[in-house]
Amino acid sequence: MSRFLRFAVPALAAALAAGAAQSQVKSQPKAQEQAEACQPLYLVFATGDMQAARPMAQALQRAKVQATFFAGNSPTGSEGDSALSRDWGDVWRQLGDDGHALAVQPWDLPLLRGEMPRKRGGGFRVKVQAGVLAGSDYTWDAGKYCSALGEADRWMSFYSGRDALPLFHAPGGVTTPKLEGAARSCGYAHVPWPEHFISSESAQPGAIVLSHLGAQPGQSDEDTAKALEQLLGGLKERGFCFKTLDQHPDYQQWVKQHPPKKAAE
């Protein structure tokens, strides 16, 4: 926002019209310079209690902040419910309409437990944490892991009406170069979570900052959303701005080189 105020005086409007037009032209580069000079933060959300998603989305709207949301079919606490189910379809649609970026976690949340030796197929030992087979151990090959990423991508795109970014977060943050290489082979780059949740202390220029969908202990969803809104406002007053991960220098080129699949109509 420009730090200058323009006062319109009706009696002088005609005389100042030319000068005002010239001033507006000059102010546009200044506003652009200020936007480019802001200290970027990249706010990401991990799905949890989806009941908190609606007040969080409203808080982000009021704060004029865009974030990147990651989701798979993680349980949300309701029987048979998951973050990417029809019960929350309107939330994903709203987030997409508001311009937030969307990314995925692999379907059924396979937690990496280790790698099989090459002589035994060289796959990945995983424990499935969601879906009807939650708690079961399996050996997945690269193709199966890619299918899990694609399944989450399809449902995210279906509900939101937007293309998901070609980015993912491995459940529990557990990964290996081999697993990341397998995901990259089918068009997905891994995004690790930061060590700390978003706070005034964790906010450093260029940092990825994490928030979680869900109320803080002793707070309602609305109170948690209000606290986040106040925190975001304070960070903006300190000169921070918020960008989505497709603008992050570590992922910007990857996103450009790997156009996401067409979202469902």
- Residue owning tokens 């799905």: 47
**Residue 213 pLDDT more than 70?**
yes
Q: Looking at the domain assignment, is residue 141 inside a domain?
A: no
Closest CA to 111 of 177, 175, 182, 65: 175
Q: Looking at the domain assignment, is residue 165 inside a domain?
A: yes
* Cβ 108 vs Cβ 130: under 8 Å: yes
Q: Looking at the domain assignment, is residue 52 inside a domain?
A: yes
**Between residues 21 and 178, which one has the greater pLDDT?**
178
- What is the reported pLDDT for 78? 57
Band the pLDDT of 206: cuts 50, 70, 90.
very high
Range of the domain at 52: 41-105+148-257
Q: Looking at the domain assignment, is residue 181 inside a domain?
A: yes
**pLDDT tens-digit profile of 85-95?**
888 999 999 99
Q: From CA 196, how far away is CA 206, in angstroms rounded? A: 15
> Which of 156-165, 171-180, 216-225 is predicted least confidently?
216-225
Q: Work out how many domains the chain is built from and give that number.
A: 1
**Between residues 15 and 213, which one has the greater pLDDT?**
213
Q: Looking at the domain assignment, is residue 2 inside a domain?
A: no
Band the pLDDT of 77: cuts 50, 70, 90.
low
Q: Looking at the domain assignment, is residue 8 inside a domain?
A: no
Q: Looking at the domain assignment, is residue 24 inside a domain?
A: no
- What is the reported pLDDT for 248? 97
Helical ranges in 64-207 per DSSP H: 89-97, 142-160, 177-185
Q: Looking at the domain assignment, is residue 60 inside a domain?
A: yes
CATH number of residue 67's parent domain: 3.20.20.370
- What is the reported pLDDT for 260? 66
